[in-house]
Structures are given as structure tokens and as C-alpha cells.
């Protein structure tokens, strides 16, 4: 898997080989906004102590104690910091087919899911590789999304709300490094942690591409 390391140095803007930009600056800003919206739904009760982490947010609770300015810095990563199971085609087929009933969600979570779903729908239709590069959407999931009409998106957002989580919730090292780099604003630390995130994404993608996706409930 090609890693957009140039994008780490260029405000997180994903590029393809030859430095051809896949996402324009507005889409990059939208991804960053989506990361910030995700931070608003991380349960504050988890606190900064990873020993007390719970649920699908895990070590992302380390960000709970950061001030708004540091959260903005953390959000400006060249990949989504949330997990909506975009690697799991079987899950999305069930969602689209009505296999997951809508569960009422708290207002911040519902708002976040709506933003994520509408952005995904737009990226799937925007350009080749836009959704995979920006959100990590697997090719088989892209195929599912291409069949979604605009009118179905609100229902999809409601259905997936209970499944929102953080990327790598048990990878305390990543979240600790991100929280520290964002708090200090150290450019070298930020570059290093964003590269780590890209490497984690690459490591995640290999077995899933070979096996056709993870088996999750």
C-alpha cells in the first residue's frame, strides 16, 4: 500500500504518486473538521488515564484533557481518527439492507455520524481513490456505497451510530504520542506521530485485503 508521506508535510493533504492531489483543500479541511467533531463524542468519563479506558474509544480518552487549540492540532491528521468500519463490506451490506436497526443516539454522536456519512457519500462519487485515501474505505465498501441513494443517508447514519469508535483504541502508544505532540505543538513530533498513523493504516490494510475483510459482529 502506498503511503502519502508527502501529505504529512503538506498539511495532511492526501496525494497520489506523482504528487497529483486527490482531495482539494476544502475536502482536506472537511476531514479535519470531521476529526474535530469526533473528538466531541469521545466520552469524557474515560479521562486521560488509559488504565480506565472503556468501550470502542479506548486510549483515545487521552485526548479528553486537551484544550480546544490542542484538539484542533490533533485533528489535522492526514487520516480519520475515528472508526466507522469502512474496512468491513459485510457490515455495510447489512446496514444498507436494513440488517442493523436504528438506535437513538446522543445529539453529538448523531451529528457526527450524519457528517461522516454525507462526506463518505460525496467522496465515493467525487474521484477515484478519494474515499479510500481520505477515509480508508475498502474497495468492496466503495462498491456498496455507490448503490446508496441520497435519500438513504439519514437512515444509514442512524444505523451506524452505535458502531462509532476510535481508530486503534488499544494502541495507547499512538494516542499518547498524538496527545503529547498536539499539546506541545512540536512539529517534529507531529510529523512522527502522523507517519506512525499512516504505517498503522498500511499494516491494517494488508490482511484485510487478502482475506476480504475482518469478521466482526
Give how many domains the chain has, as a whole number.
1
Residue 112 resides in a domain: yes
pLDDT at 5 over 60: no
pLDDT of the residue at 132: 84
Residue 216 resides in a domain: no
Give the separation between CA 54 and CA 121, rounded to whole angstroms. 30
Q: What confidence tens digit (pLDDT) does each residue in 78-87 have?
A: 889 999 999 8
Q: What confidence tens digit (pLDDT) does each residue in 118-155 have?
A: 999 988 988 777 888 788 889 999 999 998 999 999 98
DSSP secondary structure letters along 36-99: HHHHTTS-GGG-S-GGG--TTTGGGGGGGGS-HHHHHHHH--SS-SEE--TT-HHHHHHHHTT-
Q: Are strands 82-83 and 165-166 parallel, antiparallel or unpaired?
A: antiparallel
pLDDT-derived band at 161 (thresholds 50, 70, 90) equals confident
10-24, 34-48, 65-79, 137-151: range with lowest mean pLDDT: 10-24
pLDDT at 12 over 50: no
Residue 52 resides in a domain: yes
Give the separation between CA 16 and CA 143, rounded to whole angstroms. 21
Domain of 156 in residue numbering reads as 5-211
pLDDT of the residue at 129: 77
pLDDT at 28 over 90: no
15-19, 27-31, 42-46: range with lowest mean pLDDT: 15-19
Residue 57 resides in a domain: yes
Amino acid at each position: 500500500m502506498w503511503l502519502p508521506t508527502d501529505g504529512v508535510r503538506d498539511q495532511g493533504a492526501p496525494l497520489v504518486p506523482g504528487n497529483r492531489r486527490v482531495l482539494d483543500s476544502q475536502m482536506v479541511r472537511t476531514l479535519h473538521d470531521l476529526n474535530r467533531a469526533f473528538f466531541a463524542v469521545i466520552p469524557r468519563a474515560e479521562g486521560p488515564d488509559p488504565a480506565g479506558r472503556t468501550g470502542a474509544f479506548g486510549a483515545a480518552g487521552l485526548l479528553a484533557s486537551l484544550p480546544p487549540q490542542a484538539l484542533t492540532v490533533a485533528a489535522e491528521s492526514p487520516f480519520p481518527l475515528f472508526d466507522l468500519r469502512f474496512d468491513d463490506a459485510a457490515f455495510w451490506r447489512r446496514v444498507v439492507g436494513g440488517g442493523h436497526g436504528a438506535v437513538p443516539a446522543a445529539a453529538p454522536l448523531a451529528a457526527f455520524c450524519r457528517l461522516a456519512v454525507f462526506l463518505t457519500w460525496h467522496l465515493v462519487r467525487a474521484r477515484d481513490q478519494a474515499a479510500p485515501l481520505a477515509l480508508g474505505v475498502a474497495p468492496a465498501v466503495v462498491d456498496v456505497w455507490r448503490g446508496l441513494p441520497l435519500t438513504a443517508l439519514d437512515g444509514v447514519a442512524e444505523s451506524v451510530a452505535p458502531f462509532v469508535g476510535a481508530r486503534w483504541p488499544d494502541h495507547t502508544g499512538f494516542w499518547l504520542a498524538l496527545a503529547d505532540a498536539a499539546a506541545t505543538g512540536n512539529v517534529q513530533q507531529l510529523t512522527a506521530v502522523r507517519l506512525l498513523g499512516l504505517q498503522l493504516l498500511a499494516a491494517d490494510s494488508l490482511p484485510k485485503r487478502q482475506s476480504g475483510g475482518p469478521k466482526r459482529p
